Structure 1
Amino acid sequence: MARNTHHTGPGPSQRQLRVGEVIRRALSEVLARGDIHDPDLNRLSITVGEVTASPDLKIATAYVCPLGGEGQEDVLKLLARNKGELRRIIGRKTSLKYAPDLRFRIDETFDRLDETRRLFSDEKVQHDLTRSDAAPTDTAEDPAGE
């Protein structure tokens, strides 16, 4: 019986997740150690938040964020300019049969976290949160019910 090799579920397969994490670790290490021959790229501190692999594992998209979040477009240009060297290094550092083509995108997770924190610190939200936390204890200690 032939085995179904196509992933039909809504999310990535275990293999895609595993390959993405292997590449994320290797890419993070390479960028942290400054193993690239580009001084402009080596002087930057770049966080690799996640790497997603395509179903055929031929393309890996790395979600990156420069330290402080500034100069995002410059970081993307530098990474794109050095993607051939990064791909070769990743191929050597990992046990993957083929090193995928690398794509780079800005990781917006931190921006969403900041926005969530801002919302939770809003006075109206804090009032609603403390009111809903206090509501169960207030009704349990209702003096009129004694």
Structure 2
Amino acid sequence: MAKNRFHSGEGPSQRQLRVGELIRRTLSDVLVRGDIHDPDLARYSVTVGEVRTSPDLKVATVYVAPLGGQGEEELIKILARNRGELRHQIAKEMSLKFAPDLRFRIDETFDRLDETRRMFSDETVQRDIARRDEDDDEGDL
């Protein structure tokens, strides 16, 4: 039985990364052009932050965020409702043997970045960083 590289701790293969990035760009272009004729979807400016593919490339998890961060859950429902048409558009523009099944999730990367910034601006953390820098400088002598 073959090892599943995606879940073995080794991370995605180069092929998964390439295909994921190609799907991300293609999907972004489709959404920007408005190729999907859904008035609910047309109300959103969507950022496609990342696409992760399964090892067999049959499932693509698409991480999206609405511009401004409002209406995340509604956006996921709208994208899921249009999954078939989005998949068709991707298949039309890409040269994959199979168009992957698309699964949509909220991209929380920006939230994590904000939390990290808040953490680093905390005065206790700043004091610890300064102390560590001082210790490193003394070790250089």
Q: TM-score, normalised by structure 2?
A: 0.86
Q: CA deviation at 1:51?
A: 0.7
> Are the counterparts in 2 of residues 7 and 55 from structure 1 also a CA contact under 8 Å?
no
SS of the aligned residue for 2:26 comes to helix
- Residue 91 of structure 1 aligns with an amino acid whose one-letter code is A
Deviations 1:22-56 (A, max 9, x none): 11110111112221101211221111111111122
- Which residue number corresponds to residue 109 of structure 1? 109
- Which residue number corresponds to residue 61 of structure 1? 61
Could you tell me which runs of 5 or more consecutive residues in structure 2 were left unpaired when the two chains were aligned: none
Q: Check 1:38–1:128 CA distance in 2 against 1; reply closer, same or farther (3 A cut).
A: same
Bigger radius of gyration: 1
Q: Check 1:132–1:99 CA distance in 2 against 1; reply closer, same or farther (3 A cut).
A: same
For the residues of structure 2 that align with 1:7 and 1:91, how far apart are their CA atoms? 28
Could you tell me which runs of 5 or more consecutive residues in structure 1 were left unpaired when the two chains were aligned: 142-146
Percent identity between matched residues is 66
| Structure 1 residue ranges (4+ consecutive) displaced by more than 6 angstroms after TM superposition | 138-141
Superposition pairs of residues 98-137 of structure 1, within 5 angstroms: 98-137=98-137
- Which residue number corresponds to residue 144 of structure 1? none
**What is the Cα-based RMSD across aligned positions, in Å?**
2.0
- Which residue number corresponds to residue 35 of structure 1? 35
> Are the counterparts in 1 of residues 4 and 55 from structure 2 also a CA contact under 8 Å?
no
Deviations 1:85-144 (A, max 9, x none): 101101111111211111101111111111111100111111221232234546889xxx
- Which residue number corresponds to residue 47 of structure 1? 47
SS of the aligned residue for 2:103 comes to strand
For the residues of structure 2 that align with 1:118 and 1:98, how far apart are their CA atoms? 43
Q: TM-score, normalised by structure 1?
A: 0.84
For the residues of structure 1 that align with 2:110 and 2:86, how far apart are their CA atoms? 24
- Which residue number corresponds to residue 12 of structure 1? 12
> Are the counterparts in 2 of residues 21 and 50 from structure 1 also a CA contact under 8 Å?
yes
- Residue 82 of structure 1 aligns with an amino acid whose one-letter code is N
Q: CA deviation at 1:69?
A: 1.7
